[in-house]
Every structure is written in structure tokens, then in C-alpha cells.
Amino acid sequence: MDPVALDQLINAALAAQRRAYAPYSRFAVGAAAMVADGHIFSGANIENASYPLTICAERVALFCAHMAAAGPVTALAIVTPTPTVASPCGACRQVIFELAPRAQIILLNADGSERRFTTPAELLPYGFGPDQLEAQGR
């Protein structure tokens, strides 16, 4: 990935992290999804007093990108408030597999000093996706 675009994406994820609403876990996550024309859609985790209603940063970013009809997501950066990189929860892996199947995934620790590059298929091996439904004629 182009280093300038990568820096922009990482900065967007760090900025998004500051919008996290995480009064219960105090674990602020930021995500930023880039599409082919360079536009970036960002998201943060948004918690709720009814805990299960919480939504993760990755899904906020990917749903925003989808709603903008801006085309395929080419890269997704995720920053967690951890000393070393953490990886997305299972629910987000499933959504990444569906909405950003060809994206370059970049995982970052709290200060961005550690970066791990991965892919949707690596995060969700043998993932269930649209292909399985199509095989059933749906």
C-alpha cells in the first residue's frame, strides 16, 4: 500500500479512536476504511448501558463505507488501546469477510508503533460468506 495513503488511514483510525464512546470498558478502538478513490470512512466503538448493544469500531466504519456506496474497501486500519496489537472480535471478522473481502487489514497498537498486516481470510479461515448462499441458489 502507498505509504502516504497508509499514513492517512492510520491517522484517521487514531482520530476515530478519540470519538469512542466506551464508558463501561474504557477500551477505546478506532477504525478507518479506505475505498478505491482514497476516501476514508471511520468508526469507533459505541457502547450502551444495555451492554450487548455495543457496536465495535470496525463495524461502524464498514457500515458507513457501505452506506456511502463508495465501492470496495481497499484497506482497513484498526487501533486498540493496547501495548501490542490486538485483533478484531469474531463478529467483526465475519463482517470484514463480507464487506471488505479484499481489503488489506492493518492492526495497530496504542501509539501506532507496532503494525501487523493481515487479510480477511487470515482473520477468518474457512469463513462463511455469500458464496455459500449462492451455492444454494439464494
Binding site for ligand THU (CB under 6 A): 22, 25, 27, 29, 45, 47, 54, 56-58, 88-89, 92
Q: How far is the CB of 56 from ligand THU (least distance, A)?
A: 3
In whole angstroms, the minimum distance from the beta carbon of 89 to ligand THU comes to 4
Going across the sheet that includes 104-108, the strands are: 40-44, 30-35, 73-79, 104-108, 115-118
Residues 123, 65, 15, CA angle at the centre, nearest 5°? 80
**How far is Cα 125 from Cα 91, in angstroms, rounded to an integer?**
14
38 versus 83: smaller Cβ distance to ligand THU: 83
Q: Where are the alpha helices (DSSP H) in 18-54?
A: none
Q: Any catalytic annotation for residue 47?
A: no
Nearer to ligand THU, 49 or 135 (CB): 49
Distance in Å, CB of 60 to ligand THU, minimum: 8
Q: Is 51 left (phi over 0), alpha (psi -120 to 50) or beta?
A: alpha
Of 28 and 34, the one with the shorter C-beta distance to ligand THU is 28
Catalytic residue, chosen from 47, 58, 122, 134, is: 58
**Active site residue ranges:** 58
